[in-house]
Structure 1
Amino acid sequence: MSALKDTLQADLKTAMKGRDTVTTATLRMALTAVRNEEVAGKSSRELADDDVLKVLARELKRRRESAEAYDDAHRPELADREREEAAVLERYLPAAMSDEDLTQVVARVIAEVGASGTADMGKVMKPAQAAVAGTADGKRLSTEVRRQLSA
């Protein structure tokens, strides 16, 4: 079993004992998503920490998008709940890459690939995604790649 999954389960028990409803609900949802990922496909498998991080990142993205949708629908109480759940999930993810570091990584990848314009964006994105490895979301990354390639 992955260490991160063990940590999630231990923190769930602690949250349940402390009657922390937001953390309890969020960790239950996260563990359910992990279990669903483990049994998806033709055969079940045990997820490694990297795979668990991907699941948590996907759930975090869903929470952020939901909060934005609730804000647009003028439902601040639901948006606040989504943001609280996102804050719980962020505890388990690596720290986000700073804008300066992201700019440097993208510039390095562009130089390595030899990209010259926005037509080369596809060539840059795959190695750039591997370089940032979960510390920057795809939207931030693609925005920075597009900005540097069009400059």
Structure 2
Amino acid sequence: MALKDRIADEMKAALLGGNRFEGETLRNLRAAILNEEVAQNKRDVGLSDQEIEKVIVREVKKRNESAKLYRDNNRPELAEPEENEAAVLAKFLPEQMSEADIRALVESKVTELGVNDPSAMGQVIGAVKQTAGNTADGALIAAIVKETLAK
């Protein structure tokens, strides 16, 4: 089943089952997917599952950043809904790589590319992201690459 169809089915099930929070969160996700389809001029053909995963990653990142800002400003009552929305959306992402797996991938890409100075950070991050896809957090990749190239 296509990811877009799975999201639609789960949204309907949540709304019919009385879980208004999850239903509204998934409705907002569908709107974000539609916006991306229009922006990429793919309204008729739709986005691929991988492109939809990128939209979900972006939406989860937004929620997590908002929650962090709320927590930093001592507003936990506003942070909780953002964190709950991020959890609902994260169900549609592939299993995330562990930090150890990302470190191993970064080490192999650094060796493969033959670089060892921080000026090549973007090149290494790009290579790692291309291999990892949506299974690894971009901020974590960047931090590990920076740490690795600083050695």
Q: Report TM bin, short chain.
A: over 0.9
Given that 1:22 and 1:84 are in contact with CA atoms closer than 8 Å, whether structure 2 keeps it comes out as: no
Q: 2:28 aligned with 1:36, yes or no?
A: no
User: Which residue number in structure 2 is paired with residue 149 of structure 1?
Assistant: 149
The alignment status of 1:9 with 2:11, answered yes or no, reads no
Secondary structure class of the residue paired with 2:134: coil
What residue is the counterpart of 1:130 in the other structure? 130
The one-letter code matched in structure 1 to 2:16 is K
TM-superposed CA distance for 1:122, in Å, is 2.0
Change (3 A) 1:86 1:43: closer
Deviation string, structure 1 residues 27-64 (Cα, Å, up to 9, x no partner)? 01100000111111456341010011000110000000
Q: 1:24 — aligned with what?
A: 23
Detail structure 1 runs of 4+ shifted over 3 Å in the superposition: 41-45
SS of alignment partner, residue 133 of structure 1: helix
For residue 19 of structure 1, give the secondary structure of its aligned residue in structure 2: coil
Q: Matched residues, percent identical? A: 38
Alpha-carbon deviations, 1:80-124, whole Å to 9, x = none?
000110110111001111011001100010011001111221221
Equivalent pair of 1:63/1:82 in contact (CA under 8 Å): yes
Distance of aligned partners of 1:97 and 1:41 in 2 relative to their CA distance in 1, 3 Å threshold: closer
> Are positions 1:109 and 2:93 aligned together?
no
Corresponding residue number in structure 1 for 2:49: 49
Looking at structure 2, the residues matched to 41 and 50 of structure 1 have their Cα atoms a distance apart, in angstroms, of 14
The aligned residue for residue 70 of structure 1 is 70
**Closer, same or farther in 2 for the Cα pair 1:98/1:61, shift >3 Å?**
same
Q: How big is each residue's C-alpha offset from its partner over 1:1-24, in whole Å with a ceiling of 9 and x where there is no partner? A: x70000000001100011112211
Q: Quick one: structure 1 residues 70 and 118, their matched pair in 2 at CA, closer, same or farther if it must change by over 3 Å?
A: same
What CA distance in whole angstroms lies between the structure 2 residues aligned with 1:9 and 1:122? 36
Output the TM-score relative to the length of structure 1.
0.94
Distance 1:88 1:42, change over 3 A: closer
